[in-house]
Amino acid sequence: MDQRPIVKTGKHSLMRLAMALISPFSAQGRFADWRLAAQSIIGFWSFYLVTVLLRGLFGPEAASAIGYRAINAAIGLVLTFLIYAAIRFFAREGSIRRMALVAATAALPAAVVMSVASLRMATQPDPMGPPSRITTQEGIAIVQRGSNVRIVKQDGAEMEVNLPPVHQIIASKMPRLIADGTVTWYFLLAAWCAFFIAMTQQHRTRVTELRLAEAETAAHAAQVRALRYQVNPHFLFNTLNSLSSLVMSGRADRAEEMLMALSTFFRTSLSIDPSADVSLAEEIALQRLYLDIEKVRFPDRLTVHIDIPAELREARVPALILQPIVENAIKYGVSATTKRIELSIEARPLDGGRMQLDIVNREAGKSSGSKAVPAHAGTGLGLSNVCQRLEAHFGTSADCRFGPIPGGYKVSIAMPLEEDD
C-alpha cells in the first residue's frame, strides 16, 4: 500500500525529467534547429580537414601535420557547438543584429583557445616520431628527432646537440603568435557564424511566408464562405414567400409541386461545400431546379432559355454563383410586372482561356431597338455578393458587369476557363 505512491511518483519524476531534457530540442524548443546547426558545423569542419589533406599532397612535411590538424578540427567542432549554444541561449528569437553580436562575442574566446591549442601542438616535440635528415652540399648530414640534433660529417664523425624546447625559444614571441593565430581562427569561426545566421534567417523567412500563405488561404476561404452564406437567407425568404403565396391563393396542387421541387433543390444545394467549385453543367442543373420552382409560381409569365456549349459543360465555377443573379431576374423582372418575361442563360468562350456567362431577363417580344428599362430599386446584395465572390476566388482574372439593356436587364460575368483534371 505504501509503495505504490512512491513508484507512481518516481515514474512521474522520470517522465518530467525526460520531458525537461527533450523539450529544448522540440519543434518549439530553444534548440529546435539543432539538426541544421549540426549539419552545418560538421560540414564546415569536414571541409576544413579535406583542404588540409589536399594541401598535404603537395608538401613534404604536411603529412606529419595532418594529425594535429585533425585534433584542431575536433576542438573547433566542440567550440563551434558552444558558439551555437550561446547564440540560442542569448539570442533565441532575437534580431539578426543581436545574433551577430552574440556570435561575434562568443567566437573571440573560442578563437583564442584554438590559437593556443594550435601553437602547443605545433611546437610540441615528438621524440618517437620519424627523424628528419638534411644533407648539405658539403656532404654534412643533419639529422633531427624531436629536440635532439646530430651532425654527421663525411668522415663519419658525429656531433650531438640537444636543443631547448621550441616554446622556450619563441617564448618572447608567443603573445604575438597567439594574437596572429587568434585573428586567423576568429575569421574562420566568424565565417561559420555568418553562414548559420543566414540559414536561420532564410528559415525564418520561409516559415513566415508559409504562415502568411496559410493565413491568406484561411482568410480567403472564410470570405468565400461568408459571402456564400449571405445568399442563403435571401434565397430562403424568396422561396418561402412564393410558397406562401400559392397556399394563400388556394393553389394547393401547385404548392405541393413547388414544395417537392424546393425539397430537391435544398437537398442538392446544401450538400455542396460553399467554397468548392462545381462544373458549369452542375450549376446549370441547380438553376433549372430553382427555375422549375418559379415556373410553378409564374406558369404563364416566365419563359426560360438556356444555351451552354458542350465544350464548356465541364468548366469549373464557384458553387451557386448564378443563384443570386437568377433570383434577382425573377424578383425584379418577373414579379414586378404582369407581362411575359424571357430569361436566358448563355455561356460562350473568350480569348485568353476565359469564358463569359450572360444572364438576361427581357420582356418577350421586345426588340433590341426598344428603350432600356430603368434599373431596379433593389438592395444590390445579390449582385454585390456575386462580384465579391468572383474577386475573392479569381482575383483580377474575373470581372462582373450588370445594367439595363433595351427591353430588359443583363448581368455578364467572366472568369478563367478551368476544367477538373
What's the pLDDT score for residue 375?
44
Single-letter amino acid code for the residue at 344: S
Terminal CA-to-CA distance of the chain, rounded, Å? 67
Q: CA 183 to CA 123: how far, in whole Å?
A: 19
Give the bridge partners for 413, in sequence order: 357, 400
Give the bridge partners for 142, in sequence order: 134, 151
**Any idea of the CA torsion for 92, 98, 100, 101, to the nearest 10 degrees?**
-120
Among 199, 192, 198, smallest CA distance to 83 is for: 192
Q: CA 16 to CA 32: how far, in whole Å?
A: 19
Q: CA 228 to CA 392: how far, in whole Å?
A: 11
Helix H or strand E encompassing 363: strand 354-363
Q: CA 162 to CA 169: how far, in whole Å?
A: 13
3 state SS of 400: strand
3 state SS of 16: helix
Q: Which CATH superfamily hosts domain 251-416?
A: Histidine kinase-like ATPase, C-terminal domain (3.30.565.10)
Model pLDDT for residues 185-215, shown as the tens digit of each residue? 999 899 999 988 888 888 878 888 887 777 6
What's the pLDDT score for residue 8?
46
Residue 280 has pLDDT above 90, yes or no: yes
Q: CA 293 to CA 115: how far, in whole Å?
A: 90
Proportion of the chain above pLDDT 90, given as a percent: 19
Which grid cell sits at 99?
545574433
Residue 123 has pLDDT above 70, yes or no: no
Q: CA 204 to CA 197: how far, in whole Å?
A: 10
Model pLDDT for residues 394-404, shown as the tens digit of each residue? 888 899 999 99
What's the pLDDT score for residue 308?
95
Give the mean pLDDT of 207-236.
Answer: 65
Q: Packing angle between helix 252-269 and helix 280-297, nearest 10 degrees?
A: 160
pTM of the predicted structure, to 2 decimals: 0.47
3 state SS of 78: helix
Which grid cell sits at 150?
646530430
Average pLDDT, whole number, for the chain? 76
- Contact of 141 with 133, CB cutoff 8 Å: yes
The domain spans of the chain are 3-125+176-211, 126-164, 251-416
What's the pLDDT score for residue 110?
92
